[in-house]
Structure 1
Amino acid sequence: MSADVSKGKVALDNKDYQSAVKHFSDALKTSQAPSWLLERSTAYHRLGQHKLALRDANKALVIAINRGKREIIADAQYRRGIVLHGLKQYGNARVCFHWCKNYNEKKSGLTMWMSKVTTDYDLNGGAQAECNAVTIKEVPESVDDDLNEVDQSIELNSEKEDAKAEKDILGANSSVSKPPDSKIRHDWYQSQSHVTVNILVKGIPKETTTVNIKKRSLEISFPSTTSQSTCTFLFEPLYSTIEVTKSSFSVTPHKIEVILQKTMAGLKWPTLQSSSSDPVGEDLVSPLMTETNVGGTKIMSHPPVYPTSSRNGPKNWDVIVDNEDEEESIDEPDAFFKTLYKNADPDTKRAMIKSFQESNGTALSTQWSDVGSRKVEVVPPDGVEAKRWDA
């Protein structure tokens, strides 16, 4: 390790980000090490220089892929996700964390960030919201890919994004492939036994419509009514499993309707999609509350509860949207984790206790094989410094 890299790390730890950028830049003149690029990306991000932070993360990713470095590929996708989350591009951030997990599912801090970005994704309108669109590629064609997205996000602080912000559809591993025709909407609702997904498009012939239903995914394709392209909606992974042979679809003059039969009747789906590839287990089955999602607005008989660090507990965001003067609803913030712990096996419980205590509440693992033989480090959120408590 060069002296400049050592000085850069010290400067980064001391929050002297300008000096960190200088030292890592000097080191990179001798070698384009992807790990050094990621360190400089962190410094740029904390200085608010988003374009440079994303460029370094992209460059590190391309170099790591060329060298076959799986761990650094995961680190680069993780860094991309953090930068994009800071820009409030929750769809892009979420898919980057998903790509990170494909290469290193035990990446420190990943579980926390995936939970956080999923919550922000849902609270900001779900798949219908512009900030949740997926507009980036898993492997950028050049290190400057995605930088236009950064410019647009910065401009959105003062003015609304115009129609030019629509990008190419991302096929594989995306949450929802954005259709070429931005006027096409979709909604979904559920009952005790079924989930119904509607694509609200008129005049689509059934013979030109393709619906591919799998156990954890739904893909709907049809020709655009305004261009020569094909519109594709990809919902993957679904929140839980479905019975493929008992599911069906129909095409009417006004919409495409897909009816999915739940494998676990009575399981309430808080969202249509999940941020995890692992199916939801029966231990999380809860009484169903009727839910409709139309145009990004959820209508429920009771408010959804999301993980939160608020001292006052989760808030009823739906009531806030409908009436800002209504008092925020409060529920027990750790109910989900109590349920998870209650139904866990002994090794899982040991892993949860050990990881939570040793990390001072900043990490939670359910894998005893991972944390049983090591000390779990404190992993504060990006931009937050962990300090020892002096009694």
Structure 2
Amino acid sequence: MPSSATLAEQGLKALSSQNYSQAIDLYTQALQQTPESPDYYIKRSTAYQRSSDYASALRDAEIAVVLGYKRGKRELISSAQLRRGTSLFMEKRYGDAAFCIAEAEKKAAGEKEKNLIGIWKNKIEIQLAKLDHDDPTREVTVSEVPDSEVPIPEERKEPVPTIRPGDGGATGVTVQPPPAPGVSTPAGRIRHEWYQTASQVVLTIFVKGVPRDKVAVQINNESVSVSFPLATGSEWTFDVSPLFDKIDPVASSFSVLSTKIEIKLAKTNQNRKWGGLEAPEQAPVPEAGERPTALAGKPMETLPVYPTSSKRGPKDWDKVAKALTTRPTEERKAKGAVSDKEEEGPAGVEYDSDYEGGDPVNHFFKKLYKDADEDTRRAMMKSYVESNGTALSTNWQEVGKAKVETSPPGSVLSRTLRTEC
């Protein structure tokens, strides 16, 4: 028997010479050898359409669309959707035809195909303009990917020898009982794929011979679960929880076919693109008053960020305050700066405890800062730095909202707050 490529080549010649019945026969033979060729289905659909068998043309076009999406090739999807749209047009389903032509236009690449799509688009628009607004032929009843099963030809089986009554038990002949129904795909070769449209996510589990009454499929708002028994007696399970986004279990469905299990999950949020089948891991939400923690080894910012007009981004005023007003004990001791009248604060940090001459206003500010709480310190440092030393505030509720502007010179607050650093 000739190869599928040879048969397809002969089929194309028959199609070009308008011998449509021969083209259909040749492409049918080619599909027996290569049952998942979208191009063969597209060509046979063309032959069916030109021979006025529109139902068969539509069936082949829809199978071609499914195979095109399975391969993920834009040109095949576009050609299949175009053929699907023209077949629907011939059946006077103008709304459906317009939908499929629009899908073909999205994936069109070649100039020739774009021109052909434009011609059919105009034809459909002319027909739609003639119809009333409530005409049923205007309705769109199809989806981007049709619910069509790709037919797989049955493998040729050798006849099973039988023992006739009266043979007395023929020697050398073994009668093989028919195989028990069940999963024929090994567990290690069961695989799954998924794709999405604007309205649904289609999950396909490729496995042969699953008994329909033995499959358990559970579809919930945020999860999907599939299980069925294997020929070995164990159970194969597939669970996704939580899904990337919520789904509508009522509008979702599944079907058990001879070569696969297909599950259609209706999106709750239409037109939202899923980044994966399963939801990504999210950081835990901290409780009230609790600071964020690190996730998966990646440190998170745990200190508050306050308003600023700095071009370098937000400032951490706690850090600024600590840098300007504290110094490690060992460093000061090395310089001989620690006196008997100085005391150590928490964690080896020192503050001047008593005023020993100098500017009394400056000492007042230093004493105020030393005895203040954290909010007051942040307010003092933020107002002092942002006002260029012309303002000093202890009200963090006011200072923390916006930048502190420079105050007119001459006021008491324009004095420089001198701290050891």
TM-score w.r.t. the length of structure 1 is 0.36
Larger radius of gyration: 2
TM-score relative to the length of structure 2: 0.33
* Structure number with higher relative contact order (C-alpha < 8 Å, ≥ 6 residues apart): 1
